[in-house]
Structure 1
Amino acid sequence: MATVTDPLLSFLQRIQSAALCSMGPTDFDPKRYVDLPLKTDLPAAISAFNSLPRQSQSGTIPISDFSHFLKQFFDEAASDLVYTKPVDFEPEPEGFLVKVENEVMREWALEVHAIWKNLSRRVSDSVKTHPERHTLLYLPGTVIVPGSRFQEVYYWDSYWVIRGLLASKMYETAKGIVLNLVSLIETYGHVLNGARTYYINRSQPPLLSSMVMEIYMRTGDVELVKRVLPALLKEHSFWISDIHQVTIQDQGGCKHFLSRYQARWYQPRPEGATKDEKLSLKFSTPSEKDAFYHEIASAAESGWDFSSRWMRNSSDLTTTAITSIIPVDLNTFILKLEQDISTFAKIIGDNSTSQKFIEVSKSRIATIRSLLWNPNLGQWVDYWLDEHDAHQGVYNWNPASQNCKIFASNFVPLWLLAHYPDQLTEEYNEELIMNSLKKSGLIREYGIATSLSNTGQQWDFPNGWAPLQHMIIEGLASAHSKEARQLAESITINWIKTNFAAYKKTGAIHEKYNVESCGEYGGGGLYKPQTGFGWSNGVILALLEEFGWPHDRDVTTS
């Protein structure tokens, strides 16, 4: 059971709580306080904090005293990241988006491309020399941050950042991101949720092999493949370890192995501790609180933080129960990891490993088809684990435990069509899947909704997220059906238009969008909507590279 043992992090959480009491909840972001770099040694700061005057009844520190203390002992959050111009950035790279013929769209695409400069950082040398003063982790290469409050590398964001960088011909920057993530695996055994000490307890959707594959397909860099393959093997071991892997026995007595999200954490998440603690007031016992904290941290590992997808009661975040769910998209990502490892091993001549992972991936394909495919829906679905169906750690398959609610994740396996089509098309009816998607209600006027439930959580309706658009669009575009490819292009056009409209209205690229209203960014969740924004930029550029924009296509929605 992981606990807060980092002295700096424990102290910063005390400061976070004091800040909420002293300054009030208005515009309060708990993450800011656990990101503060310490100017001096920790004991001096703790002593000064303990000596601050406090109101006798509430214990609140006067704002002026608290602000003075922060300025005296801490630098601003994210000041331990230093702006650096990417070595391979060009204002208009040769061969950039050759299919984008419309002048207005091309001008905007170049502005999106230029955002990479704004999001490019390197970790300050002070983090390397005094790691005990920072929650930021040292990374050797240039980093691309998502933007706004997210001033560190994030795992699955980086895949779509890299897709955009490759469209921008920034191959060295893309390769540097991969090597940063590899350094995390080599140090911690897995890629962290993000490059902060408080993220060590969890990962995020495993897309590192996909990043490497995209770079290899562009550059043919065999040395990168050799460098990364041992780390990918270690990452695969992480996702099939006892922490994540679950055994399910089907009705024929055959055992199957699938993976789930599960953080090693039973406390409030440091980056959101005050909010987690407030939510936990519903529970009366320490064990109930610990279980809630574990589920919330595990949901953060999914990248979908937060969603009715993980909740027993869609109107109550405290009913999050993600560790009881086998997510179809996670197992799709692990399947692709296995297939990528096999491909990479073959490239470098390791035929034994290549053959081993061919067999491993075949087993997962069969398991996904057997347990997570719902032929009546024409969709892949999550599976709820029920302790009543378990015996000695093995769950007995129950078709009633499939979650038949509609989420965009139900169509993420389509993404495999763009990468390993022979593994998917032989087993499923493309027309059935496409018709199911069209009838699902997920495809709205300006993109694919995350779910059909408007719960106020940010990974629910009416929000649309760039990664989900991209994966489903790529899958549709790679299908044999002309109608599927036309649908992919239609979704792309509308998604690009709403991104464009929002940019013209606000001057920014946003983290998420409202798929019901053109140019309106998304909302909900536990923090304010963010701009920047790494993966949104990447998806815009990747889609424009793939589909282009003809001279005569309007860029507005009129």
Structure 2
Amino acid sequence: MKPKNNNNTLDHSRLLRKFLSPSSYIYRSNHHRHGHLHCLSVMAQQMLNLVFFSFLFLTTMTLTRGLSKKCFVTVVPTTPLLTFLERVQETALDTFGEKDFDAKPYVDLSLKLNLSKTEKAFDGLPRRGENRTVSVKDLKEFIATYFDDAGDDLLYYDPVDFVPEPEGFLLKVKNPEVRAWALEVHALWKNLSRKVSDGVREQPELHTLLPLPEAVVVPGSRFIEVYYWDSYWVIRGLLTSKMYETAKAMVTNLIFLVDTYGYVLNGSRAYYTNRSQPPLLSAMVYEIYNRTYDVELVRKALPALLKEHAFWNSGYYPGCSRLQPQLKSVLCNVEQTQARIFYKSMFFPLAKLLKHYLTLFHIASAAESGWDFSTRWMRNTSEFTTLSTTSILPVDLNVYILKMELDIAFLANVLGNKATTESFLEAAEARKNAINSVFWNGEMGQWFDYRLANGTICKESETWQACNQNQNVYASNFIPLWIDLFHSGS
């Protein structure tokens, strides 16, 4: 039953008006004068010194190895199984060759026997030639003997809330052909629904799949696990299909990841424990609540949302080093074996990989951003090796954090937690001002990513300059319009 219009159902913009006085756009008029871009006056530069915004702005995460000790630390592989599977993966690359090589299935394999027996058998495989290559026949027999197929630890699942034609489904769609097509799309939920097998929970050391407690909806094809920000659009679709219980189960799984790791992983595999994805968990909870008014879901989710917000705004990331009190960026490590496989599968010669090793952590950063890959992250849009993701302040990530703050304020208000509501509205107002101060371009009418002038996140401070905005047009330039606080005429 839909509640009455009271404080518990205030939208984001009404909440801001209720608790805060408008104070946005205080720097916008200083950014552009006389029809052209220019660098700010000394006073404005001091006001917009990026050190001031160090608690606000987040660059996306990076992977690296062997660089400055000031900026980076070593990260050990996440599990013994994953370390071994990387060896199998590398051997498969040498055995089958680079053409059409898909590295992912090898790290999705699950063991039939314990790891020590499997490793012993692997080490005993006959190897030939200077490169000590395993034959195709021997490697295929080894994999068939000691591993279950990738994906066997995820079982097909019949969602409890699926019906062929939900009541009230897309009532505005009247065209019979379009409606029939929409119902065919709706039917795909049954094909994409899975449940983690009991074996993953009973013997997690045999799997790279993580033991999620509830049913999941997977993206499909070779992606047979949950992915963080994919789940947002999955949930929007589930809500359209009136599959509210499945949507809540998806959120419960992500809350489990926050409780276990301190944040939502990129995906539900052991090899994703070193990075996240665009933080949209709060938006998922917000969307579900606005359809179901399930206060208990909000009560369960809020502690996890507070924990995730603290993660994205902290200087700590498990196994990594986040610079403090400088611009927030997570710096992680990737083993060279993984790097070689990635580059070979991308048709990068190994010599070029070694020459452009810095590109590796820009690649991982781009993967976490959800834009893998885009000229948005390249200094030279025609050359992939000029990726500089880690030296860019992205519009969209900061908007996602702003959305998280607004969502938390809203959900805390649902629970009657006024102190948390006020605190997060204040944080949202500060971030909104910063977004407009650093990203907004009044002449172009867009928000542009900001490139750090020195090309690295290790610099202690940097003064804002309009000429460092990336004025190429991307969809991310308009992400602020997704938030009620940014709209035409504001």
TM over 0.5: yes
C-alpha deviation, 1:284, in angstroms? 4.5
2:304 aligned partner: 231
C-alpha deviation, 1:188, in angstroms? 0.5
1:282 aligned partner: 352
Question: Is 1:4 aligned to residue 71 of structure 2?
Answer: no
Distance 2:405 2:160 in 1: 33
Q: 1:310 to 1:65 in 2, by over 3 A?
A: same
Q: Specify every segment of 5 or more residues in structure 1 that has no aligned partner in the other structure, as ranges.
A: 249-256, 431-558
2:140 paired residue among 59, 67, 75 = 67
Question: Is 1:267 aligned to residue 340 of structure 2?
Answer: no
2:481 aligned partner: 414
1:377 aligned partner: 444
1:33 aligned partner: 106
2:90 aligned partner: 17
Q: 1:40 to 1:327 in 2, by over 3 A?
A: same
**Between Structure 1 and Structure 2, how many residues are aligned?**
410
C-alpha deviation, 1:305, in angstroms? 1.1
2:486 aligned partner: 424
2:265 paired residue among 175, 192, 214 = 192
Distance 1:365 1:280 in 2: 44
**TM-score of the pair, normalised by structure 2:** 0.79
1:134 aligned partner: 207
2:164 paired residue among 74, 77, 91 = 91
Contact 2:391–2:455, Cα closer than 8 Å, also in 1:
no
Secondary structure of the structure 2 residue equivalent to 1:67: helix
Secondary structure of the structure 1 residue equivalent to 2:370: coil
**TM-score of the pair, normalised by structure 1:** 0.70
1:395 aligned partner: 462
C-alpha deviation, 1:65, in angstroms? 0.8
Contact 2:239–2:247, Cα closer than 8 Å, also in 1:
yes
1:536 aligned partner: none
C-alpha deviation, 1:122, in angstroms? 0.6
1:344 aligned partner: 411
C-alpha deviation, 1:304, in angstroms? 0.9
Q: 1:229 to 1:175 in 2, by over 3 A?
A: same
Distance 1:135 1:319 in 2: 32
Contact 2:340–2:350, Cα closer than 8 Å, also in 1:
no
Distance 1:414 1:246 in 2: 30
C-alpha deviation, 1:390, in angstroms? 8.6
Q: 1:49 to 1:228 in 2, by over 3 A?
A: same
Secondary structure of the structure 2 residue equivalent to 1:122: strand
Distance 2:457 2:185 in 1: 51
C-alpha deviation, 1:395, in angstroms? 2.1
Q: 1:77 to 1:391 in 2, by over 3 A?
A: closer
Amino acid at match of 2:315: D
Note the 1:530-549 alignment, pairs <5 A: none
Contact 1:326–1:383, Cα closer than 8 Å, also in 2:
yes
Amino acid at match of 2:441: N
Which region of structure 1 is more displaced relative to structure 2, 362-371 or 46-55? 46-55
Secondary structure of the structure 1 residue equivalent to 2:110: coil
1:311 aligned partner: 378
Amino acid at match of 1:282: K
Contact 2:315–2:324, Cα closer than 8 Å, also in 1:
no
Distance 1:105 1:120 in 2: 24
Q: Specify every segment of 5 or more residues in structure 2 that has no aligned partner in the other structure, as ranges.
A: 1-72
Q: Deviations over 1:455-512 (max 9, x none)?
A: xxxxxxxxxxxxxxxxxxxxxxxxxxxxxxxxxxxxxxxxxxxxxxxxxxxxxxxxxx
C-alpha deviation, 1:5, in angstroms? 4.5
Identity of aligned residues (%): 52
Amino acid at match of 1:334: I
Distance 2:452 2:207 in 1: 39
Secondary structure of the structure 1 residue equivalent to 2:194: strand
Question: Is 1:153 aligned to residue 153 of structure 2?
Answer: no
Q: 1:296 to 1:268 in 2, by over 3 A?
A: farther
Question: Is 1:56 aligned to residue 99 of structure 2?
Answer: no
1:166 aligned partner: 239
Q: 1:283 to 1:74 in 2, by over 3 A?
A: closer
1:464 aligned partner: none
Quick one: higher RCO (CA 8 Å, sep 6+), 1 or 2?
Answer: 2
C-alpha deviation, 1:4, in angstroms? 1.7
Q: Deviations over 1:6-42 (max 9, x none)?
A: 2211111111111122122333210011101111111
C-alpha deviation, 1:263, in angstroms? 5.2
Amino acid at match of 2:137: S
Secondary structure of the structure 2 residue equivalent to 1:397: coil
Secondary structure of the structure 2 residue equivalent to 1:386: coil
Note the 1:433-512 alignment, pairs <5 A: none
2:392 aligned partner: 325
Secondary structure of the structure 1 residue equivalent to 2:462: strand
C-alpha deviation, 1:316, in angstroms? 2.7
Question: Is 1:217 aligned to residue 290 of structure 2?
Answer: yes
Secondary structure of the structure 1 residue equivalent to 2:332: coil
Secondary structure of the structure 2 residue equivalent to 1:137: coil
Q: Deviations over 1:249-269 (max 9, x none)?
A: xxxxxxxx9766x45234359
C-alpha deviation, 1:165, in angstroms? 0.3
Q: Deviations over 1:26-66 (max 9, x none)?
A: 33210011101111111111111111111123322111111
Q: 1:342 to 1:32 in 2, by over 3 A?
A: same
Distance 1:305 1:334 in 2: 20
Amino acid at match of 2:472: K
Contact 2:112–2:147, Cα closer than 8 Å, also in 1:
yes
